[in-house]
Amino acid sequence: MADTKTIEPKSPALVRAWDWITETQIWTSIFRHSAPINDRNRVLVMLSNVFLHMHPVRLRKSGVRLRYTWCMGGMSFFLFLVLTFTGLLLMFYYRPTLEYAYSDIVGLREHVPLGIMREMHRWGAHAMVITVWLHMFRVFMTGSYKPPREFNWNVGVIMLVLTLLLSFTGYLLPWDQLAIWAITVGSNMARATPFLGHEGPGASLMALGDVQLVHAADDARFALLGGTFVGEGALLRFYVLHCVALPLVIGFLMAVHFWRVRKDGGISGPL
Amino acid sequence: MDALKSFIDLFADPRLFFLTTVVALVLIVWKRETFASDRWGWGLMGFLVVFFGFGLFDENFKLIIGKPDNVPIVALIFLLLFFTWFSMREAVRNDRRLSAGEPPIEKDEEDRVWTWPDLVYTELIAMVLCTVILIVWSIGLEAPLEQPANNANTPNPSKAPWYFLGLQEMLVYFDPWLAGVVLPSLIIVGLMAIPYIDNNPKGNGYYTFNERRAEVTIFLFGFVVLWSSLIILGTFLRGPNWNFFGPFEYWDIHKLEALTNVQLSEYIWVRWLGMALPGNWLVREIFGIILTIVYIGVLPVALAKKGLTGYYEKLGPTRYYVTVLLFLSMMSLPVKMLTRWLFNLKYVVSIPEFFFNI
Ligand code: HEM
> In this predicted model, what pLDDT tens digit does every residue of B159-174 receive, in sequence order?
899 999 999 999 989 9
Say if residue B10's pLDDT is above 80.
Answer: no
Arithmetic mean of pLDDT, B21-46? 94
3-state secondary structure of A5: coil
What is the total count of domains within chain A? Answer: 1
Q: Among residues 106-135 of chain A, which lie with CB inside 8 Å of chain B?
A: 106, 109, 116, 118-120, 122-124, 126-127, 129-130, 133-134
Residue A69 near residue A63 (C-beta atoms within 8 A): yes
- The pLDDT of residue B31 is 94
CB contact under 8 A, A126 and B69: yes
Provide the b/e sequence for A170-186 (b: ≥16 CB within 10 Å).
Answer: bbbbbbbbbbbbbbbbb
A180 close contact with B: CB closer than 8 A: yes
pLDDT, residue B138, reads 94
| DSSP letters spanning B211-280 | GGHHHHHHHHIIIIIIIIHHHHHHHHSB-GGG-B--TTS---TT-------B-HHIIIIIIIS--PPPSS
Residue A255, classified by CB atoms within 10 Å of its CB into exposed (0-12), middle (13-18) or buried (19+), is exposed
User: Which of A126, A204, A229 is the best residue to mutate to test the B interface, defined by the most B CB atoms within 10 Å of its own CB?
Assistant: A126
Distance from CA of B267 to the nearest CA of A (A): 24
Chain A within 8 Å of B242 (Cβ-Cβ)? no
> How do A211-212 and B356-357 pair as beta strands?
unpaired
The answer to whether the Cβ–Cβ distance between A194 and B142 falls below 8 Å is no
Residue A205 parent element (H or E): none
Task: Dihedral sign for Cα B337, B342, B344, B348, please.
Answer: negative
Which among B305, B93, B312 is positioned nearest to B199, based on CA atoms?
A: B312
Chain B within 8 Å of A201 (Cβ-Cβ)? yes
Q: Is residue A24 part of a domain?
A: no
Do A197 and A219 meet the contact criterion of CB atoms below 8 Å apart? Answer: yes
Q: In a mutagenesis test of the A interface, which of B119, B213, B216, B229 is the best target, namely the one with the most A β-carbons within 10 Å? A: B119
| pLDDT for res B184 | 96
Beta strands in chain B (DSSP E): 112-114, 350-351, 356-357
Residue A154 lies in a domain: yes
State how far the Cα of A149 lies from the Cα of A261, in Å rounded to an integer: 8
- CB-based contact, A89 to chain B, within 8 Å: no
Nearest CA to ligand 1 atom 26: A156
Q: What is the pLDDT of residue B315?
A: 93
Chain A interface, best mutation among B177, B199, B215, by max A CB count within 10 A: B177
The 3-state DSSP class for residue A195 equals coil
What was the pLDDT predicted at A158? 98
B191 near A CB under 8 A: yes
- Read off the pLDDT of residues B315-330 as tens digits, 9 standing for 90 and up: 999 999 999 999 999 9
* Contact residues on chain B for A197, CB-CB shorter than 8 A: 177, 181
DSSP state of A243: I
- Say yes or no for a CB contact (<8 Å) between A119 and B138: yes
Atom of ligand 1 nearest to the CA of A157: 30
Query: Chain B window 97-116: which residues touch A at a Cβ cutoff of 8 Å?
Result: 103-107, 109-116
A53 in contact with B, Cβ within 8 Å: no
A152-159: long-range contacts, CB 8 A cutoff, minimum separation 24: A152/A257, A152/A260, A152/A261, A152/A264, A153/B192, A153/B194, A153/B195, A154/B192, A154/B195, A155/A253, A155/A256, A155/A257, A155/A260, A156/A257, A157/B188, A157/B191, A157/B192, A158/A253, A159/A132, A159/A250, A159/A253, A159/A254, A159/A257
Question: According to the model, what pLDDT value does residue B55 have?
Answer: 85
Question: For residue A40, how many other CB atoms are within 10 A of its CB?
Answer: 11
**How many residues would you count in chain A?**
271
User: What pLDDT is recorded for position A1?
Assistant: 54
Domain that holds residue A232: 66-263
**Does any domain span residue A1?**
no
d(CA B246, CA B4): 12
User: How many residues belong to chain B?
Assistant: 358
How big is the CA angle at B18 (ends B14 and B20), to the nearest 5 degrees? 120
Q: How far apart are CA B176 and CA B356, in angstroms?
A: 10
Of A79, A124, A157, Cβ closest to residue B188 = A157
What residues line ligand 1, using a CB cutoff of 6 Å? A 69, 72-74, 76-77, 80, 132, 135-136, 139, 144-145, 149, 152-153, 156-157, 159-160, 163, 254, 257, 261, 267-268
CATH code of the domain covering residue A127: 1.20.810.10
- What pTM value is reported for the model? 0.93
The Cα–Cα gap between B50 and B58 comes to 13
Ligand 1: residue whose CA is nearest its atom 13 = A73
Asked, for residue A48, whether it belongs to a domain, the answer is no
- B110, B144, B155: residue with CB nearest A60: B110
Q: List b or e across B34-47, with b for residues whose CB sees 16 or more CB atoms inside 10 angstroms.
A: ebbeeebbeebeee
Q: How far apart are alpha carbons A22 and A29 in whole angstroms?
A: 10
Residue type, B150: N
- pLDDT digits (tens), chain A, 271 positions: 556 777 777 788 999 999 999 999 999 999 888 888 899 999 998 988 888 888 999 999 888 889 999 999 999 999 999 999 999 999 999 999 999 999 999 999 888 877 899 999 999 999 999 999 999 999 999 999 999 999 999 999 999 999 999 999 999 999 999 999 999 988 888 888 888 888 888 887 888 887 888 888 788 888 889 888 899 999 999 999 999 999 999 999 999 999 999 999 999 999 7
DSSP A228: S
Task: Mark yes or no for CB contact A141/B91 under 8 Å.
Answer: yes
Is the Cβ pair A160, B79 closer than 8 Å? no
A8 within a domain of the structure (yes/no): no
DSSP assignments along B80-113, one per residue? HHHHHHHHHHHHHHHHHHHHTTPPPHHHHT-SEE
CA closest to A74 among chain B residues: B123
Pick from A92, A267, A67, A243: nearest CA to A172: A243
Q: Is A17 inside a domain boundary?
A: no
Q: How far is CA B44 from CA B40, B228, B278, in A?
A: 6, 17, 55
- Expressed in angstroms and rounded, the spacing between residue A73 Cα and the centre of ligand 1 is 5
Q: Using the beta-carbon criterion (under 8 Å), do B149 and A168 form an inter-chain contact?
A: no
Between the CA of A67 and the centroid of ligand 1 the distance, in Å, is 15
Decide if A46 and B116 are in contact by the 8 Å CB cutoff.
yes
Neighbours of B186 (CB within 10 A): 17
CA dihedral A177, A180, A184, A190 (to 10 degrees): 170
Task: Report if residue A96 sits inside a domain.
Answer: yes
CB B149 to CB A167 under 8 A? no
Q: What digits encode the pLDDT tens for the residues B71-107?
A: 899 999 999 999 999 999 999 999 999 999 999 999 9
In a domain, A56, yes or no: no
Whether residue A213 contacts residue A207, with contact meaning beta carbons closer than 8 Å, is answered with yes
For chain A, positions 144-163, list CB contacts with chain B under 8 A: 144-147, 149-150, 153-154, 157, 160-161
